């Protein structure tokens, strides 16, 4: 155990609490937990460690990534990495001392402003862990705002987001969930009508949904509001370069996974949760909001304006127990959006649409393969295969292609379905090779 205190200081503290040693203080902890045996190799020098890690990384096989399902292989401008690695950003902690953290506060303010502009929402917080917990916090807010417990989830919500909701609410019972059927890959509007009622707190819409299909967001929004429920929209932020923003169709709360905005996939994280809402719901927003103000001399300054979390207010009045944010990931997203601008984001989104549709045409031309759903899609689609999707993925991995995400992992009835994605990074050659490999399944 590392302790920065001197021997004398430790002795004084132990004396104050009435024990003679640290060992006496921890005597109740089982020995196997207090001093576990680690089977670690000998320590390496820095040079040896670099060589060791280089050898390990050389074992990685470069893959053409056609997998998405919530994490996307977008191009990241090199300027982002250079800017976020500046010491004042890389080592910055939560800006508790606003007067000493003006740069970090401004970065947070710019992030909030960028998200509000992109989502056409009134307010955005200073980021959250990732998309799934951002959705859970949105549901939490919807329950508080409406005083109702029933949450209608699109049946095409990401299964891992559903698992996160179960973790959040499974024990407390603060929210009760029901799935809206998704016939043909899209929300069944007749089923939604029959499930809505005066006890509905919110309808959770995903567009594009887990199967890549774009929903009729305006229709869902109108139906939710007709019975006093809120609309919680979860979206792909890159898709907003070409699709309607949540604010335009009346979403009360909009959340997203922001990894696609300048953050690498990095084997699962860290990622970036985005949370935005209408002004009237701002005080139910978890985390914090950074504001812009002026001092008594009229000079511009940045401050932490709203902090509805337990660290700053009474626990029972806190909007959330989340006490941290993803500031560096949020900064990457801010720089990404600033570098691309509205026109650049639109161009990137259009490339995703164009490549995904071209890929779908190529793949569905292979004997036995077809696109499962006919609804409009952005950068992902479900490919129905003549064999289990796991078999397709395994065979193509040997050819340097990550073919997609087998949906049988989430739903056994879809074991022959592969969720395939194409971003602006996929080349014509990679797509032709993918299609050629599928063609060999019938031989």
Closest CA to 116 of 248, 268, 11: 248
For the ranges 103-107, 318-322, 383-387, the maximum mean pLDDT occurs at: 383-387
What average pLDDT does the segment 264-278 reach?
92
**pLDDT tens-digit readout, 162-177:** 999 999 998 888 999 9
Closest CA to 231 of 207, 274, 197, 202: 202
Alpha helices in 303-383 (DSSP H): 327-364
Q: What angle do CA 211, 428, 415 make, to 5 degrees?
A: 30
Which pTM value belongs to this model?
0.88
Whether 213 and 186 have beta carbons less than 8 Å apart is answered as yes
For residue 266 the two structure tokens come to 């990095």
Whether 309 and 320 have beta carbons less than 8 Å apart is answered as yes
What average pLDDT does the segment 336-355 reach?
98
For helices 327-364 and 102-119, give the axis angle rounded to 10 degrees: 30
Assess whether pLDDT exceeds 90 at residue 268: no
Q: What is the DSSP string of 164-219?
A: HHHHHHTTT-SSEEEEEP-GGGS--HHHHHHH--TTEEEEEEESS-TTSBPP-HHH
What band does 97 get if pLDDT is binned at 50, 70 and 90? confident
Helix, strand, coil % in the chain, rounded to nearest 5? 45, 15, 40
Q: What pLDDT is attached to residue 308?
A: 61
Q: What pLDDT is attached to residue 309?
A: 60
What band does 45 get if pLDDT is binned at 50, 70 and 90? very high
CA distances from 317 to 28, 30, 284, 314, 320 (A): 36, 38, 10, 5, 9
Q: What pLDDT is attached to residue 159?
A: 97
Q: Which residue has the higher pLDDT, 100 or 73?
A: 73
What average pLDDT does the segment 245-263 reach?
98
What band does 31 get if pLDDT is binned at 50, 70 and 90? confident
Whether 366 and 340 have beta carbons less than 8 Å apart is answered as no
Tell me the three-class secondary structure of 112-153, residue by residue.
HHHHHHHHCCCEECCCECCHHHHHHHHHHHHHHHHCCCEEEE
Task: Report the SS3 class of residue 127.
Answer: coil
Task: Report the SS3 class of residue 412.
Answer: helix
**pLDDT tens-digit readout, 169-214:** 988 889 999 999 998 999 999 999 999 999 999 999 999 999 999 9
**pLDDT tens-digit readout, 294-321:** 989 999 999 888 776 656 666 666 677 6
Cis peptide before 73 (omega within 30 of 0): no
- Looking at every residue in the chain, the average pLDDT score rounds to 93
The torsion angles phi and psi of 23, rounded to 5 degrees, stand at -60, -40
For residue 100 the two structure tokens come to 């000493």
Whether 405 and 419 have beta carbons less than 8 Å apart is answered as yes
DSSP state of 128: B
What band does 323 get if pLDDT is binned at 50, 70 and 90? low
N-to-C CA span, the chain: 62
Q: What pLDDT is attached to residue 1?
A: 62
Provide CB contacts within 8 A for 411, sequence distance 6+.
159
DSSP state of 231: E
What average pLDDT does the segment 47-59 reach?
95
Assess whether pLDDT exceeds 80 at residue 139: yes
């Amino acid at each position: 155990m590392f302790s920065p205190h001197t021997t004398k200081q430790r002795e004084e503290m132990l004396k104050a609490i009435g024990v003679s040693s640290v060992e006496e203080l921890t005597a109740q902890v089982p020995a196997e937990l207090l001093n576990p045996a680690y089977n670690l190799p000998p320590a390496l020098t820095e040079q040896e460690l670099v060589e060791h890690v280089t050898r390990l990384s050389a074992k990685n096989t470069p893959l053409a990534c056609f997998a998405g399902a919530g994490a996307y292989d977008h191009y990241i401008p090199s300027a982002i990495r250079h800017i976020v690695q500046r010491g004042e950003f890389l080592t910055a902690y939560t800006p508790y001392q606003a007067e000493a953290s003006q740069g970090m506060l401004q970065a947070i303010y710019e992030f909030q402003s960028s998200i509000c502009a992109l989502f056409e929402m009134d307010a955005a917080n200073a980021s959250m862990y990732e998309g799934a917990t951002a959705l859970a916090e949105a549901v939490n807010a919807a329950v508080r705002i409406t005083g109702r417990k029933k949450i209608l989830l699109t049946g095409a919500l990401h299964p891992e987001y559903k698992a996160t909701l179960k973790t959040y609410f499974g024990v407390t019972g603060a929210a009760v969930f029901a799935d809206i059927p998704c016939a043909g890959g899209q929300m069944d509007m007749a089923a939604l009508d029959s499930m809505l009622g005066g006890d509905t707190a919110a309808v959770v819409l995903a567009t594009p949904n887990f199967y890549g299909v774009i929903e009729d967001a305006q229709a869902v929004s109108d139906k939710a509001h007709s019975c006093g429920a809120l609309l919680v929209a979860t979206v792909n932020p890159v898709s907003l370069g070409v699709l309607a923003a949540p604010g335009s169709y009346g979403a009360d709360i909009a959340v997203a996974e922001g990894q696609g905005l300048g953050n690498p996939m990095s084997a699962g994280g860290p990622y970036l949760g985005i949370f935005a809402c209408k002004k009237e719901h701002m005080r139910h927003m978890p985390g914090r909001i950074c504001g812009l103000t002026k001092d008594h001399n009229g000079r511009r300054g940045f401050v932490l304006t709203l902090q509805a979390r337990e660290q700053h207010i009474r626990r029972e009045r806190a909007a959330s127990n989340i006490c941290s944010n993803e500031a560096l990931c949020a900064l990457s997203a801010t720089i990404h959006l600033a570098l691309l601008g509205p026109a650049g984001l639109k161009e990137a989104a259009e490339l995703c649409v164009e490549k995904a549709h071209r890929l779908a045409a190529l793949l569905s031309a292979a004997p036995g393969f077809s696109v499962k759903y006919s609804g409009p899609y952005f950068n992902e689609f479900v490919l129905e295969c003549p064999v289990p999707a796991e078999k397709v993925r395994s065979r193509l991995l040997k050819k340097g292609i990550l073919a997609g995400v087998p949906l049988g992992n989430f739903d056994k009835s879809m074991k022959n379905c592969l969720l395939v994605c194409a971003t602006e990074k996929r080349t014509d050659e990679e797509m032709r090779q993918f299609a050629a490999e599928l063609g060999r399944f019938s031989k």
